Structure 1
Amino acid sequence: MIDVQRLQVLLTVAEHGSFNRAAAALRLTPSAVSQQVAALERSLGAQVVARSTRGVTLTRVGQIMVGAAESVAAELEHAQQQITELSTGRTQLTVATFTSGGQFLLPAALTQLMAAHPRTVLHVREGEPEDTLPLVRQGAVDLALAYHFDGPLPVGPGPGSSLEWMPLLEDPLYVVLPPGHRLADRDALDLADLAAEPWVLGCLKTEAYLRRYAEQAGFDPEIHGTTTDYFFARSLVAAGMGISLIPSIALAPELPGLSAVPIKSPGPIRHIGVATISGRNRPCITTLIRSLREQAMRHNGH
C-alpha cells in the first residue's frame, strides 16, 4: 500500500526541486524529507528522484507518482468541497489568474457568475501559470486563467494529463513607442527596425520572448529596464527610457502620446485560455467559463 503522506512529501519535493526547500515548506527537517522519500522508494522498489549537488529531479517513476499524488490531492479537495456544500449550502470556488488577464477578463465574468450563483463563496488568487496550473491539478484551485507563448503550457512536474485547456483568445504583443517617435506612424513594424532602440519591459517572460524573436531578426536587444507591471513599463516609455513590448489586453488605460504598433507577421502572441480538471464541470465553473468566453469574443470582435 502506498503511503499518501509520502506522496505529498514527494509532490512538495518536485515543486521545490530540493529536499531543503521542500523541508522548509513542510516545516520538517531535510533529513525527515529524505527519509520519507527513501521509504516511498523502498515500498515501490524503484527510485523516484535522482539526487545531485544541485538538487533533485524526478525519474520517470517519480513523474508517475507525482501525477498520482496530484490526483489524490485533487480528489480529497473535491470531497472536502462536497462536504462543505452539504453542511453549509454554499459552493466554494477558487479562481487563479495572471494579472493582466484578470484585469481584462475577470471582472465582468465574475459579476455574471455571482448573479447566476449568488450562494457561491468566491476566492481569487493571483499568480503566473507555472504556479497556478499545478494548483489546478492538485485541486487547490478550481479554475485558472492562464497563458502560454509559442511553447507548451508550463504545467510543472508530472504529466499534467488531468488538465483540460480551453483557448479563449490570442493576445498579440505590440511595440509601444514614446511621443514623437520616428516610427510611430507605421502600420506595422519588423523587429529588425528596432535593433538600435533601448527597451523597457513589463514581464521577465516577455524579455525572454523578445530576445528569442530579436535573435531571429539579427540583433541583441539592449534592455534598460525590467518591471513586473505592464502599466509601469508604459509609464517608463512615456518618460523616454525606451520602447516596450506589451500584450494587446494590457494597452488600457491609454497613456497620452504613446503609440502601439503591431509587429509584422509572424509576430509574438500570447495564447490565453482556461485550465480546469477534466470532468469537473460544476455549474458555477460552467457559468464562469461561458462568461469568460463572452468577454474574449467581445475583444476578438474589436
Structure 2
Amino acid sequence: MNLKQLTHFQSVASHGCITTAAARCNIAQSALSSQIAALEADLGVQLLIRHARGVSLTPCGEVLLAHAKQISAHLDQARREVREAADVAGEVSIGIPVSMAGVLTLPLLQALETEFPGAQVHVFEGLTGDLRGWLRSGKIDTGILYGNDQADGLALAELAEDELVLFGNVGDQWSDGDSVAFETLQHWSIYTTDGDHPVRPLLNKIAKTKRLALQFGAQINSVEQLKALAREGRGHTILPRVALAAERPTELSRIRPIAPSIKLRSYVATKATPSQSVQKVDRVIRQVVNHLIGSQRWPGARVLAPVPVESSAES
C-alpha cells in the first residue's frame, strides 16, 4: 500500500465511478483499476463493489476511506507547516462575503499589513456559496461564511450575528425607523441570491413556519445588482444591514427592519486542520470585526464568542 494508491482510491470513492476518477487523476482507467486491485490484494479484502451505475464501498472500503482522508489531511498540514518553517509560503488568501466587503476589506488589509509586514495578502470577495467552494478547493486559506449549513469538512467558529433588513420602495405608510411585519413581505416580489446562499433558504424556512408563501423575483447572484434594483425602486431585496451601510434613503428606496427581527450568523471558516499562520490571521480577522462592530461602523450586528460549531442548518 502506498500514497498514490490511497489517493486514487479516495478519488474513486469520492466520484463513485472508476472512469470519472481516472479522468480526474489523469491516468488510464485500466491503470487505475490495476492500482485498486493491487490495493485489495495487499490488504486481502474487497474494497469496492462494481455495479452498472459505478462502484460503491464495502464496509472494509469505508474503513480505508476514513484513514485515507486522515492521511491526506496530515500530508496537507505537513506541507503547509514545512513551507512556513522555510519561509516559503509567505502568502495568505482570505475570502470575505460581498455583503461585508465595503466595511471590512480595507480595515482588515491594514491590520494584516501591520501584523504580517512580509506576507502577501490576497483578498477574494464572493457570495457564501462561492467562498465555501474556494475553501474546499484550497483557493483561499480562511474565510467568513454566512450560515453553517453545507459546511461539511470545514472548521467553523462563530463570528458575528447580523440583522437582515428590507431594502426597497415600501410606500409612505411607514415612518422612518418603523419595522415591516414579516407577513407583509408576501405582498411584494423579493429579489435575492439563489439557494446556494443562505438568505433565501432562511426566508423560506420562516415563511413555512408562518404558513406564508413569499413571492420571489429573479435570482441575482450579485449584491451590487440587488441593491441597484432596489435603489431604483424596481423591486425589494433582503440583505444584512452591513451590506447597506453606505446607502442613504431616497424617494424610491428605504431600509426597513423586519419584525420579528431576522438574524443571520457568520462564521470564520478554515479547513479542519488550519496551519499556525492561518490561525493567527483568523485572530486578526476577529479583532478587526470586533472593533468595527464595537465602534458602530458595522451596523446591525453583535459580536459572538468564537465557539466552534458542528455543521448544521442555520436556525
- Cα deviation code 1:128-150 (max 9, x no counterpart): 354245346xxx753232231xx
TM-score normalised by the chain length of structure 1: 0.74
Q: Distance in 1 between matches of 2:49 and 2:140?
A: 26
Out of 255, 261, 265, the residue aligned to residue 260 of structure 1 is: 255
- Cα deviation code 1:219-239 (max 9, x no counterpart): 222222111112211211233
Q: Which residue of 2 aligns with 1:75?
A: 74
1:165 aligns with 2:156: yes
Q: Distance in 1 between matches of 2:187 and 2:19?
A: 45
AA of the residue aligned to 2:224: F
Q: Distance in 2 between matches of 1:113 and 1:125?
A: 15
Structure 1, unmatched stretches of 5+, are: none
Q: Which residue of 2 aligns with 1:131?
A: 133
* Paired residues of 1:90 and 1:121 also in contact (CA < 8 A): no
Structure 2, unmatched stretches of 5+, are: 297-315
Q: Which residue of 2 aligns with 1:112?
A: 111
Q: Report deviation, 1:273.
A: 1.7
1:215 aligns with 2:211: no
1:196 aligns with 2:187: yes
AA of the residue aligned to 2:268: V
Q: Report deviation, 1:189.
A: 2.5
Q: Which residue of 2 aligns with 1:147?
A: 146
Specify the structure having the higher radius of gyration (Cα).
2
* Paired residues of 2:22 and 2:28 also in contact (CA < 8 A): yes
Please give the residue correspondences for 1:88-107 in structure 2 after superposition, counting only pairs within 5 Å.
88=87, 91-107=90-106
Q: Which has the higher contact order (CA 8 A, sep 6+)?
A: 2
Q: Which residue of 2 aligns with 1:272?
A: 266
- Cα deviation code 1:128-176 (max 9, x no counterpart): 354245346xxx753232231xxx44234xxx4xx54321101222121
Distance 1:279-1:173 versus aligned 2 partners, 3 A rule: same
Q: Distance in 2 between matches of 1:201 and 1:109?
A: 27
Out of 280, 289, 295, the residue aligned to residue 296 of structure 1 is: 289
Please give the residue correspondences for 1:177-192 in structure 2 after superposition, counting only pairs within 5 Å.
177-178=168-169, 180=171, 182-183=173-174, 185=176, 187-192=178-183
Q: Distance in 2 between matches of 1:179 and 1:4?
A: 61
Q: Distance in 2 between matches of 1:113 and 1:132?
A: 21
Please give the residue correspondences for 1:45-56 in structure 2 after superposition, counting only pairs within 5 Å.
45=45, 47=47, 53=53
Q: Distance in 2 between matches of 1:262 and 1:233?
A: 17
Query: SS at 2:162's partner residue?
Result: strand
Distance 1:233-1:120 versus aligned 2 partners, 3 A rule: same
AA of the residue aligned to 1:45: V
Query: SS at 2:246's partner residue?
Result: coil
Query: SS at 1:110's partner residue?
Result: helix
Distance 1:102-1:236 versus aligned 2 partners, 3 A rule: closer
Distance 1:7-1:27 versus aligned 2 partners, 3 A rule: same
* Paired residues of 2:18 and 2:29 also in contact (CA < 8 A): yes
- Cα deviation code 1:102-148 (max 9, x no counterpart): 55434322321222222223344556354245346xxx753232231
Percent identity reads: 24
How many aligned residue pairs are there? 287
AA of the residue aligned to 2:291: R
